[in-house]
Structure 1
């Protein structure tokens, strides 16, 4: 007797190579991978739907995350290249759901607004020098790398359906 994979299992298996790649299993990128996996599970597990519906819901959630990062990158690119850690976190916090991500607070993983907020805060902290100055250019490069991972997951998921999909275009 063969068993059929659920839509969640099918979608997660399609994104496994991207989510489990060794380059992503450390630092902020591991938080992004956990966020993507949780988003896929959360949006699909809420209601029994077929694979096309699951793909649509997963794409909707990941496109929203992609756009949120795009908006953040756009705002942070207007900032000076070097900011104090508190300033960098404050700017990102204001841009990401107007402070609901709680990026400026010293919190453990999972205690912020969501997993994407954890990724953003960890990314900023990762680029904090010993003198307390954050390279905003480096932060944006890391956020763009995260955005690329989200886009790669979206592309993999889209291969599971013949339904047309639309994706936001990155800001230039």
Structure 2
């Protein structure tokens, strides 16, 4: 039976008030499919949170006939610049897939994994891999799947058949 641990990871919360900056070596827009593919040294920054990966695929929501008719990916591409990345409303994004060594950091918390997904509607971020590592200061949590509820920062780390490993650093405890 797989083991799991749940924790509060407030540093990995989504901040809707901050702009999002995306950089990559290449951006390919697929209007008909409502997809934007970012490849090569992908870096996404929002406030104090940074996501890095080898590849990121953004799936946009379908637009209804009441809009101006242009696809969200086209609007995103129109605002993209090679240095500053993409500036688009996150309300148009349905989900995001990241792969090829994912690195997520926010404040004192860092998570690494092989791949991940972000569901905008559920505000759910899932990192998976042979070894998913979450660090918070000197504390280290290791498993194979980390699920973070971005609205609340609640995180669950699963072991996928083995056991979750935790290394707690006594120096990380606040002194009174």
TM bucket by the smaller chain?
under 0.3
Larger helix percent: 1
- Structure 1 length-normalised TM: 0.25
Larger strand percent: 2
- Structure 2 length-normalised TM: 0.25
Q: Which has the higher contact order (CA 8 A, sep 6+)?
A: 1
